[in-house]
Amino acid sequence: MTSPKIVPAAGSAPVGAALACALLFTTAMAWAQDATPDMETKTFGSWTMRCVQRADPLPPCDIVQGVSNRDTGKQLMQASFAYLSDKDQYAVQLVLPLGFLITSGVLIRIEGGPDITDWPVTHCEPTGCVVERLVAAPVLAPFRDHDKAVVAVLDRQGKAVAFPLALNGYAAAANAMTARNRAAAKKK
């Protein structure tokens, strides 16, 4: 697999319309990971948990990791996970750049672990393409047990392009985020 000049940014079943709204404050093209004044952030290794106070029933926290171009600093890929207490599942959102073959979907190759396949692109916008899924905890279990992964797509020439996904800190971040979202759901 070829890899563009990228560097992980520290801290950084198909989803229906209802879940698309439930992806809290991480809209499809919300690349920025800068904290807003009302956002609480906490870093766990390569992952950042972001939480906001919410009056609606949506989960208040997600965990996120981004990958940026080393030369330009431009965000190329972002992975976000949010626990949905009412569904006992995780909303997964991957935002990828334009210019790859969407028909082949996205592959997550976990170093020393199983591949996660069959994650189709749900839609593209002018600034990138999005994968949105609802998954049960066992699907994400390999993230807890390994250190590195790549999110791989095929470019227009059919060559693999891999974006690194650091898994250090994922388990602690996911545990903290899940606990916060469960606690928030009990209060509502």
Q: What per-residue confidence (pLDDT) applies to 16?
A: 37
Q: What per-residue confidence (pLDDT) applies to 36?
A: 60
Q: What per-residue confidence (pLDDT) applies to 35?
A: 52
- Burial zone of 104 (CB within 10 Å; 0-12 exposed, 13-18 middle, 19+ buried): middle
Q: Which amino acid is at 53?
A: Q
Q: What per-residue confidence (pLDDT) applies to 2?
A: 46
Secondary structure E strands in 10-147: 39-44, 47-52, 61-69, 75-84, 89-96, 106-110, 115-119, 123-125, 128-135
Q: What per-residue confidence (pLDDT) applies to 6?
A: 35
The structure tokens listed for 161 are 């392009």
pTM above 0.75, yes or no: yes
- Burial zone of 42 (CB within 10 Å; 0-12 exposed, 13-18 middle, 19+ buried): middle
Counting as low any pLDDT under 50, the low residues of the chain are: 2-34
Determine the Cα–Cα distance for residues 57 and 160; give it in Å rounded to an integer: 40
